[in-house]
Every structure is written in structure tokens, then in C-alpha cells.
Amino acid sequence: MLVRPFAALTAATICASCSQWDQPVNIPFIATWQGEPIDCSSEKSALTDLRFYVSNVQLVDAEGQGHDVRFATEMTWQNDAVAYIDLEDGTGSCQNGTADTYDHVLGVAGVREYHGLRFTVGVPFKLNHTNPLTAKPPLDDPDMHWHWRSGYKFLRAGVRTDDDGFWIHTGSAGCQGTVGNITGCTFPNRIEVVLPDFVVGEDAVSIDLTELLTGVDLDDATRSDCSSGPPEESCLAPFAALGIDFTTGEQNGAQRVFSVQ
């Protein structure tokens, strides 16, 4: 007699806090270069790669409170924790790419008014050190795995201008333990994105590669790259643009690459 009303009350509370998951969420992603869309076959400057994992997606209410977006899981590019975005189509300059593209995150959220979006570019630690040969999609793509560092490449991005170019791979580095038994990583290198004015259903997330490559000379006739390794000076500027302190792998400021479009 005492238990039953309490249980009903608890159920009501849960229902109120999570409300119904009735609000469809579709977050499109687009790539830009100097204010214009860029793809693998763009003239002069073109993409050479742009693929990344998104996790911890939240919509933000008027009080600044974040509310989880549940990923749809009936498609192979998303599971309940990670969504895979692939903005290259394997044509033109994207020689290492794939024909398939996945340019939006699909899910549901509770019904309420939202004023912003936040998410992480990266794979959560507890999923990051699985074997890509046995992992479930979208973590089963060896192109997105760093076999020698253990863990996934959170972001692969690259731009070519004429014969010059730059690419970056980010992911956790300086990990301890052994493959299959990783206990931690000194440099997490996850990118935290906060977009206060994002209107779900109207806006897209723009990845501005001009910002990512600020400080990279695309006219020095040297194809350079950053693989998130500790000795790589070529990583300093791109990591700063991504809001990560390259010496610690931790977020130390706002990223400038992802914006509301």
C-alpha cells in the first residue's frame, strides 16, 4: 500500500525529466573553405579528407542546461554512443576516401525549447580501445583506427591547394597499458564544441577548414601533416584552433573550427 504510490510518483518524475522523446533531431554538417563549401573535387583548394566521430550530443535549454540527444541506431553510421560523419566521397583529391558519405546526426530529444548545441568530437574512453575487427558499426572501420597508438582517429581532415597540402589526424595519445588493456591516455585530445545560437531544425554545423589550417603554410611546396604525436610542431596551430592545449591534450579554450551555419 505504501510502495505503490511511491513507485507511481517515481515513474511520473522520470517521465517529467526526460519528457517524451518526441522531438526529432537532425543535425547536418557541411565543410567550408574561405567562406565557401568545399568538397573533394573543388577547384584550386579541395578536401583530401574529412571524417570524424561525434559523441555526447546535447541540446541546450534557455537556462544553459544540456539535454541528451539519443542517436537513432537503425543505421550503420550511428550506435547509441557514437555517430560517424563522413564528408568526403572518395572522388578527386580524396584518394584515401570512400564513396559513402554521412553528413548528419539523426536522433530524438525531449520536447522543449532549445537555444544551443554542444557535442564532443571523439570516441568515449570506454569504447575507444576496442578492436576494430570485432567492434560494432560505426567503430568497425579500420580507416578510422590508429592501430599503433591503440584507439580511434577522432578526426581525419585534409586540404590540398595545387600541389601543396596539409592533413591532420587527431586521437588520444600517450596511452598506458597494452592493446586490449588500455588503462588511460596522457593526451585525451577530444574536441569540445559549444554552439550557443544553434537552432535545431534550421541550422547546420559548419566545419571551417580555413580556421583549422590557420598557421599552416599551404604555399611552401611542402605537404605536411599532424598525427597528434608529442614531437610534432606542425600540430601546435591546428590544435589551438581546436581548443586543445597540445602539451596536455586537454581543452584549454574555445574551438574556432565548428560554427553555426
Partner 1 sequence: MKRTFTLIAAVVAAALVFVWFARDPAWDWSLPGEVPAPQVPADNPMSSAKVELGRWLFYDIRLSGNETMSCASCHIQALAFTDGVSRSIGSTGVAHPRSSMSLVNVAYASRLTWANPLLDRLEDQALTPLLGDRPIEMGLRNGVQRFGELLRSEPNYSELVRQAFPGDADPHSMLNGVRSIAAFVRTINSFNAPYDRYMRGDAQAMSESAERGMDLFFSERLECFHCHGGFNFTDSTTHAGNDVDRVGYHNTGLYNLNGVGAYPADNTGLFDMTGEPRDMGRFKAPSLRNIAVTAPYMHDGSVATLEDVIANYERGGRRIEDGEQAGDGRLSPYKSEFISGFELSAGERADLLAFLESLTDDSVLTDPRFSNPFVR
| Site residues (vs partner 1, CB under 8 A) | 96, 131-134, 140, 142-143, 145, 147-150, 169, 173-175, 177-180, 182, 186-187, 225, 227, 229-232
Q: Shortest distance, CB of residue 147 to partner 1, whole angstroms?
A: 4
Query: CA-based angle 91:95:96, to the nearest 5?
Result: 120
Question: For 182, phi and psi rounded to 5 degrees?
Answer: -75, 130
Output the CA–CA distances (angstroms, integers) from residue 141 to 73, 153, 163, 169, 236, in the order listed.
17, 10, 29, 15, 28
User: Which lies closer to partner 1 via its Cβ, residue 124 or residue 229?
Assistant: 229
Q: Report residue 194 as a C-alpha cell.
A: 559549444
User: Which lies closer to partner 1 via its Cβ, residue 158 or residue 243?
Assistant: 158
Q: What is the DSSP letter of 152?
A: B
Q: Report residue 155 as a C-alpha cell.
A: 578526426
Say if strands 205-208 and 23-33 run parallel, antiparallel, or are unpaired.
Answer: parallel
Rounded distance between C-alpha atoms, residue 248 and residue 232, angstroms: 13
Rounded distance between C-alpha atoms, residue 131 and residue 10, angstroms: 40
Q: Please, what is the end-to-end C-alpha distance for the chain in angstroms? A: 55
Q: Shortest distance, CB of residue 20 to partner 1, whole angstroms?
A: 39
Q: Shortest distance, CB of residue 227 to partner 1, whole angstroms?
A: 6
Q: Shortest distance, CB of residue 135 to partner 1, whole angstroms?
A: 11
Query: CA-based angle 200:204:208, to the nearest 5?
Result: 145
User: Which lies closer to partner 1 via its Cβ, residue 100 or residue 162?
Assistant: 100
- What three-state secondary structure class fits 12? helix
Q: Shortest distance, CB of residue 43 to partner 1, whole angstroms?
A: 26
Query: Closest Cα to residue 169, out of 37, 51, 256, 40?
Result: 51
- What three-state secondary structure class fits 16? helix
Q: Shortest distance, CB of residue 150 to partner 1, whole angstroms?
A: 5
Supply the Cα-derived Rg of the chain in whole angstroms. 20
Q: Shortest distance, CB of residue 16 to partner 1, whole angstroms?
A: 45
- Cell 558499426, residue? 137
Q: Shortest distance, CB of residue 246 to partner 1, whole angstroms?
A: 10
